[in-house]
Chains A and B, each alone.
Chain A
Amino acid sequence: DTGVSQDPRHKITKRGQNVTFRCDPISEHNRLYWYRQTLGQGPEFLTYFQNEAQLEKSRLLSDRFSAERPKGSFSTLEIQRTEQGDSAMYLCASRARDTSNEKLFFGSGTQLSVL
């Protein structure tokens, strides 16, 4: 257990539905990341928060995707009008405030299946 919690662990939804995932990072970590991983591939960067500010977004993050970190603690990732291509593992990671700390701590992910 890395200390990063993600909920739910699995989500099955029908195409066109909206889904929301939650990430609780390690409490003292001010940096939070979302990644997406499909079978056989490495994780792909989606977006990054420093405290509550969303500082970077990948072009992979279409306008159907939105992420928030309202109080600089937990974060949510919402996918609207899901498509079958959204099926993937969605990973959250956090990192400590001190920039000399090189480690990202990943959660176990939310596995999304869009039928």
Chain B
Amino acid sequence: LAKTTQPISMDSYEGQEVNITCSHNNIATNDYITWYQQFPSQGPRFIIQGYKTKVTNEVASLFIPADRKSSTLSLPRVSLSDTAVYYCLVGEMDSSYKLIFGSGTRLLVRP
């Protein structure tokens, strides 16, 4: 499973766009990139997943360059409620699909 590297923490202000970049230099051909969000005292929650180029849903966008060695989660116009830990995960969607979490990025959104 490819190892991921992401910033330990980030600060932002309400209304700003936040971009969290994750490095995964050893990503394999069959690996997908997935981001989860976790609030205190809750389990992680799926945000978005992609394989290449750009994926957008109602919550976020995921940008993946052609070499797929990194990815960027983009949160548009963050609010205080977006304060959470964000995890970048890389893995193959095989039958077990065991997710391996790193330490994540702690995002603090200030008023």
Q: How far is the CA of A102 from the CA of B41 in the complex (A)?
A: 23
Q: Which residues of B contact A22 (CB under 8 A)?
A: none
CB of A41 within 8 A of CB of B45, answer no
**Nearest-CB residue, chain B, relative to A42:** B101
- Whole-angstrom distance between the alpha carbons of A108 and B98 in the complex? 19
Q: Is B10 close to A, CB under 8 A?
A: no
Query: Contacts A42-B87, A42-B103, A42-B104 known; A102 to B43 CB distance under 8 Å?
Result: no
Main SS of the interface on chain B? loop
- B98, A56: Cβ atoms closer than 8 Å: yes
Q: Pick from B22-30, B60-68, B89-97 the stretch touching chain A.
A: B89-97
CA distance in complex: A89, B44 (Å): 12
How near does chain B come to A38, taking the closest CB pair, in angstroms?
A: 11
Interface size grouping (class) on chain B: 20 to 34
B46 touches A (CB below 8 Å): yes
CA distance A105 to B46 in the complex (A): 7
A residues contacting B by CB (< 8 A) are: 2, 4, 31, 33, 35, 40-45, 48, 50, 55-56, 89, 91-93, 95, 99-100, 102-109, 111
**Residue contact A48 to B98, C-beta cutoff 8 Å:** yes
A-B contact pairs, 28 of them (CB 8 A): A2-B43, A33-B98, A35-B101, A42-B101, A42-B102, A42-B104, A43-B44, A44-B101, A45-B98, A45-B100, A48-B96, A55-B96, A91-B43, A91-B44, A99-B93, A100-B93, A102-B49, A103-B46, A104-B46, A104-B99, A105-B46, A106-B42, A106-B43, A106-B44, A106-B45, A108-B41, A108-B42, A108-B43
